[in-house]
Amino acid sequence: MATAATASHPASASTSGRDALAAASSSPAAVCLVPFRWWARVREEEAAGGVRYAATAAASPSYYGLRLLHSFLHPDLVLRLERGDGRAGGGGGSGGGRSYALVPADELSRALARQNSGFGLQNKHSFAGDSAGAYPLVLRISVRETSILNLRISKKDNPVENYKRANKIFNVDSQPVHVWDFSGQTNLILMNEWNRLHHDYCHADQENLLEVQVYAMSDSLTSKIGGTNKENSGDVNDLDRSFGRFGSTGLIGLENLGNTCFMNSSIQCLAHTPKLVEYFLGDYTRNINRTNPLGLNGELALAFGELLRSLWTTDRKPVAPHHFKEKIACFAPQFSGFNQHDSQELLAFLLDGLHEDLNQVKCKPYEEAKDASGRPDEEVADEYWSNHLARNDSVIVDTCHGQYKSTLTCPTCSKKSVTFDPFMYLSLPVPSTAKRTMTVTVFSTDGSREPCSYDVSVPKFGTLSDLVQALSIACLLGDDEILLVTEVYNNCIIRYLEEPSDSVSLLRDGDKLAAYRLSKKFEKSPLVVFTHQHFDEHSSVDNVTPQTKEFEAPLLAAVPETVNGLSLQDIYLKLLNPFRLSKGASSPSCTAGSNSDPVDLMDGIPSDSDSNFQNIQLEDDPESSNCSTNECEIRKGPSELNDVGTADSDKGANLKEFEFYLKNERGDGQQQKIDINEVDLLETVPSRLHVNVHWQQNASRQYDNSMLNNLPEIHKLELITKGTDDSVALHGCLEAFLKEEPLGPEDMWYCPCCKKHQQAMKKLDLWRLPEVLVIHLKRFSYTQFTRNKLETFVDFPTTDLDLSSYIADKSKQPSSHYRLYAISNHYGNMGGGHYTASIYHEEGKGWYKFDDDCVTPMSEDSIKTSAAYVLFYRRE
């Protein structure tokens, strides 16, 4: 098919125009190029139907651009403008440079007939200002295997004029248009250096190609302008069938090059982020910063842009991202080779690398962070954000960067430090719904109550803070008390579990735990640790002399102000008060490992129906780490009230029942017998004073030592089977991320008031939300000894994610409601797994599963799984 329309001087325009129009109108597929302003006026006055070519970047530019072109042309048409004499050079005016309308020939013929004129030059609406130049303009429309609209441009126009002309002729925005120069100056044109070029840039022997590239075209086959067109080929019916089959774009898979599913998943999610699609399908190369020392010389941005464009063609053939992987491995060696990696780690590197490659700040100014110093949060936040934007300006910042408020509080002097930091994504902890039931025996440090064992449920991969919280609720810990949890082995405390952030996974099932109730006023005081051994009448060598046996559970108390033999004896006897047997009294009924079912706690108020004994039973509380305890009787009989007096009256007898030995700071080695009457026992008191007590044979008959002699082991893991309770809401993950918690020992904060590093409390609040919110669910946990993956089902909203309740500053937020559009999924475990992507496709109005090179539709109900790893939301 070939159709020609000419625009020449008035002397010859009438005859040649009518002949060309008559020839063109005989073909039903013929179109004509006419001045747009003239055609607009004709349309308005005559109400004639006309079609104006417009390749605009709509919400889905690739789709609408194709449909508009296909409505009357064809997605593979080449528009070629050249001088009528066939010469490439010479003087004269421009071969184009005005806005034109592409009009079906039959429509134009009817419009001209109604206007009673020729090709418009004799019409009452003249072509003034729309002259094509001194040489006649010839338009050839032919079917070719290309997706480029080619135009001959004037040698007298500089690239800026060529670029503007492309926008005017085809009525397109600036982003979809690319100006290519075949003289070797392409980089100058594309790198935003146009204003430096002279007007005589285009030489007479130089050929330029002005390219108007419609989104989603197949790979273009550009050729030099000039000479005759002999490549006209193609079957229109075949092309029509091709368009119908591949009309939807963005549904192209990525080949797995060998354990590269993690990369494919992240790329597909980014390649379907609307703002990034629009940006990289436009002239993004103008914004590449090749001089940024923190960037990658623009190579990562170019590789990603090339890959994204290949994913937004109408050809559904899977793409092999060899070149992109080579660039990734070049700049991030950790991703080289063919091992499996974390998709979120690649995503973080990719976002940061693209930002630096496209950062428009050539010279980053130094901005000193200032403390709030009592200023309003709004003022401080704006100052931090302005400093951030002064050093960072890219499409990644505009799309993905947000800001949160961080507050540090010193535990000693309560000094607060407030900062406002940017974020590119949120890494949210996933509260595990898999529970571990642990048994801990709680002892008093003042002899006020007998020990009791509690079964508490903590998250499988929880922390010691979770354990202490659950245990505090179970044992009704007072506001003025703290719990000191220890690990006991072979009659000794081998470890004090004082770091709240340590994982409970470090504790084995066979370990034995003891916790001690300690008054807060003694939290920083030295402690005395009593280990003890007794004569076991049931074990002897000669059946006459009993053997000594060590008690399993040490006892612990605050060190007295005066450390001597009598003070240590008084403390030890006081600790033994709960174990003393009175006449007619049975053994204490608090037993380890009781399996009694818990009942209601009655708001924590113990029953007073029995004046001598109180039975306190605890039930699971979903708001207290789901702790559960065994039935525990706390003895508060009259005999206990007189224990101190009894101890005083029997002091002479006690001197013969117990012997005290001083041990070294580690609690082992040689023992030094303590003289009860010694006044000055120690010159300096260590933080842990270890004393070993030898029970005489008659002492064992006066005390019930069952709780001292047998500590229960930690129970085995109890995993809750998956069901409606085995899930957590995304809002729960957000709350866990934003809650106040202590810093780890490796992240100590220097307090300017205390003049030393402190384990401060840290509180986060969201302050400024980004256009695209990326949420990383922290399913993987790593320790020195273990690697685990949480399979917890996170229930996340697909529409209307409302974050308004988590925003500290609601005054400047355009919207805090988000819609889900992409998910990076991980199936399997740490040893082996597979990544996929679930993506909402705007053109298809539905969800699709991207499994490497396989792309298939999926229902919205099936996108919510326990495999969801990285969530992509965009602001509604």
* 24-38: average pLDDT: 64
CATH code of the domain containing 750: 3.90.70.10
Q: Please give the share of the chain, as a percent, with pLDDT higher than 70.
A: 61
Q: Of 709, 743, 761, which closes a domain?
A: 709
Active site residue 261: yes
| Per-residue confidence band for 22, with pLDDT thresholds at 50, 70 and 90 | low
Q: What is the pTM of this model?
A: 0.57
Q: Which of the two residues, 590 and 698, has the higher pLDDT score?
A: 698
Report residue 390: phi and psi, to 5°: -70, -20
Most confident of 32-36, 373-377, 781-785: 373-377
Q: Of 246, 274, 300, which closes a domain?
A: 246
Whether the pLDDT of residue 193 is over 70: the answer is no
Whether the pLDDT of residue 764 is over 90: the answer is yes
CA neighbor of 687 nearest in space, from 526, 568, 484: 526
Residues 658 and 739 in one domain: no
| Per-residue confidence band for 284, with pLDDT thresholds at 50, 70 and 90 | very high
* 109-129: average pLDDT: 51
Range scoring the smallest mean pLDDT among 18-27, 150-159, 416-425, 867-876: 150-159
Assess contact for 548 and 535: CB atoms under 8 A. yes
* 706-711: average pLDDT: 76
Determine which one of 261, 269, 492, 733 is catalytic.
261
Residue recorded with tokens 């302005």: 386
The answer to whether residue 382 is domain-embedded is no
* 271-293: average pLDDT: 93
Residues 590 and 573 in one domain: yes
* Alpha carbon separation from 696 to 536, 557, 578, 653 (Å, rounded): 10, 22, 19, 11
Beta strand 761-768 with 512-519 is: unpaired
- For 205-216, how does the pLDDT look when each residue is reduced to its tens digit (9 = 90+)? 443 444 443 333
The answer to whether residue 504 is domain-embedded is yes
| d(C-alpha 802, C-alpha 818), whole Å | 7
- For 361-393, how does the pLDDT look when each residue is reduced to its tens digit (9 = 90+)? 988 888 777 777 778 989 999 999 999 999 999
The answer to whether residue 322 is domain-embedded is no
* pLDDT of amino acid 311: 93
How many CB atoms within 10 Å of residue 778?
15
476-483: long-range contacts, CB 8 A cutoff, minimum separation 24: 476/604, 476/616, 477/517, 480/519, 480/520, 480/521, 481/517, 481/518, 481/519, 481/520, 482/517, 482/518, 482/519, 482/520, 482/523, 483/442, 483/515, 483/516, 483/517, 483/518
| d(C-alpha 636, C-alpha 589), whole Å | 12
Q: Which of the two residues, 458 and 355, has the higher pLDDT score?
A: 355
Q: Of 246, 273, 289, which closes a domain?
A: 246
| 162 Cβ contact partners less than 8 Å away, ≥ 6 residues apart | 153, 179, 208, 210
Domain that holds residue 598: 435-709
Range scoring the smallest mean pLDDT among 95-99, 101-105, 440-444, 577-581: 95-99
Q: Which of the two residues, 681 and 603, has the higher pLDDT score?
A: 681
- For 45-64, how does the pLDDT look when each residue is reduced to its tens digit (9 = 90+)? 664 444 333 333 333 333 33
* pLDDT of amino acid 783: 63
Residues 793 and 670 in one domain: no
* pLDDT of amino acid 194: 37
Report the amino acid identity of residue 247.
Answer: G
Assess contact for 170 and 68: CB atoms under 8 A. no
* pLDDT of amino acid 633: 40
Beta strand 772-778 with 426-429 is: parallel
Q: Angle at the Cα of 781 (from 780 to 787), degrees rounded to 5?
A: 95
Domain count, the chain: 3
Whether the pLDDT of residue 403 is over 90: the answer is yes
Beta bridge partner(s), residue 101: 34
- For 673-696, how does the pLDDT look when each residue is reduced to its tens digit (9 = 90+)? 887 777 677 777 888 888 888 887
Residues 455 and 537 in one domain: yes
Report residue 749: phi and psi, to 5°: -105, 135
- For 801-829, how does the pLDDT look when each residue is reduced to its tens digit (9 = 90+)? 999 999 988 777 788 999 999 999 999 88
Q: Which of the two residues, 449 and 39, has the higher pLDDT score?
A: 449
Residues 452 and 562 in one domain: yes
Residue recorded with tokens 């949420």: 775
* pLDDT of amino acid 321: 94
Kindly state the helix (H) or strand (E) to which residue 190 belongs, with its residue range.
helix 186-190
Residues 30 and 144 in one domain: yes
* pLDDT of amino acid 58: 31
* pLDDT of amino acid 586: 45
* pLDDT of amino acid 138: 42
Most confident of 90-94, 614-618, 740-744, 749-753: 749-753
Residues 417 and 462 in one domain: no
Report the amino acid identity of residue 524.
Answer: K
Q: Angle at the Cα of 279 (from 841 to 821), degrees rounded to 5?
A: 25
Q: Which of the two residues, 821 and 166, has the higher pLDDT score?
A: 821
Whether the pLDDT of residue 186 is over 70: the answer is no
Alpha helix segments (H runs only) across 272-405: 274-280, 299-311, 322-331, 343-357, 377-391, 395-400
The answer to whether residue 383 is domain-embedded is no
The answer to whether residue 341 is domain-embedded is no
- For 311-329, how does the pLDDT look when each residue is reduced to its tens digit (9 = 90+)? 998 777 899 999 999 999 9
- For 505-516, how does the pLDDT look when each residue is reduced to its tens digit (9 = 90+)? 888 888 899 999
* 384-406: average pLDDT: 95
| Per-residue confidence band for 708, with pLDDT thresholds at 50, 70 and 90 | confident
* pLDDT of amino acid 815: 86
* 177-191: average pLDDT: 37
Most confident of 119-133, 338-352, 457-471: 338-352
* Alpha carbon separation from 575 to 446, 477, 530, 563, 615 (Å, rounded): 6, 18, 10, 17, 22
The answer to whether residue 381 is domain-embedded is no
| d(C-alpha 363, C-alpha 520), whole Å | 54
Most confident of 175-179, 498-502, 783-787: 498-502
The answer to whether residue 483 is domain-embedded is yes
Residues 68 and 165 in one domain: yes
The answer to whether residue 164 is domain-embedded is yes
Residues 553 and 505 in one domain: yes
* Sign, CA torsion 324/328/333/336: negative
* pLDDT of amino acid 29: 54
CA neighbor of 738 nearest in space, from 401, 419, 406: 406
Whether the pLDDT of residue 113 is over 80: the answer is no
* 827-838: average pLDDT: 88
Most confident of 46-55, 170-179, 301-310, 787-796: 301-310
Most confident of 21-30, 36-45, 281-290: 281-290
| d(C-alpha 497, C-alpha 511), whole Å | 13
Residues 587 and 641 in one domain: yes
Whether the pLDDT of residue 794 is over 90: the answer is yes
Assess contact for 714 and 439: CB atoms under 8 A. yes
* 585-608: average pLDDT: 39
Active site residue 834: yes
| 465 Cβ contact partners less than 8 Å away, ≥ 6 residues apart | 500, 501, 741, 742
Residues 204 and 104 in one domain: yes
| d(C-alpha 191, C-alpha 664), whole Å | 75
Most confident of 368-382, 583-597, 725-739: 725-739
Residues 482 and 439 in one domain: yes
